[in-house]
Amino acid sequence: MADFKAGDAVPELRVTPDKYLTNRYAGASGDFNPIHIDADFAKSVGLPSNILHGLYSMGLVAKAAAQGLGGGDPRSLKKLTVQFRGMGLPEQEIVVTGSVKEVEGDRVTVDLEAAQGGNRIIRNAQAELEL
C-alpha cells in the first residue's frame, strides 16, 4: 500500500475532449439533450456552444482519484460527491487537481476540482478510496 498523508497532491489529470465527445457520450449515456449535441440549438438558448455532460466531467474527477491514488483501479473508489458549478466545453482542456484531506487506515479521502481555464466546472468534490 502506498503511503499518503494529508496535504499530498493528487497527480493532475489533463484531458481535452474532442468536438465529437458529446455525441459519443450521448450514445453511451442515453442523454441526447440538444444542449449537448447541437451547437446551434445550444446557442439559441443562450449557451456559448454545445456543452459537456456534467456526468462526463464527474467521471474525470473519479478517474483522477482512482489513477492518482488508487493505482489505476476504479474499484478503489468507494464514494464520490461533487458540486456542478460551471459548464464544460468541448475542445478545451480540463484539468483535475486535488489533495489528500485525510488518511485513516487503508481509506484515503481527497478533495478535488475540475477546471477549464478559469472556469471551475466541478468544485467541492470529495472522493474516498480504499487502498
Q: Which amino acid is at 73?
A: D
Residue with cell 499530498: 8
Question: Would you say residue 83 has pLDDT above 80?
Answer: yes
- Round to whole Å and give the CA distance between 84 and 70: 23
Task: Summarize the confidence of residues 11-35 as an average pLDDT.
Answer: 97
Q: Is 117 left (phi over 0), alpha (psi -120 to 50) or beta?
A: left
62 to 23, 72, 73: CA distances (angstroms): 21, 11, 11
Contact 10, 68 (CB under 8 A): yes
Q: What is the model's pTM?
A: 0.94
Task: Evaluate if residue 73 carries a pLDDT over 60.
Answer: yes
Q: What is the mean pLDDT of residues 43-61?
A: 97
Q: What is the pLDDT of residue 12?
A: 97
Q: Is 80 exceeded by the pLDDT of residue 2?
A: no
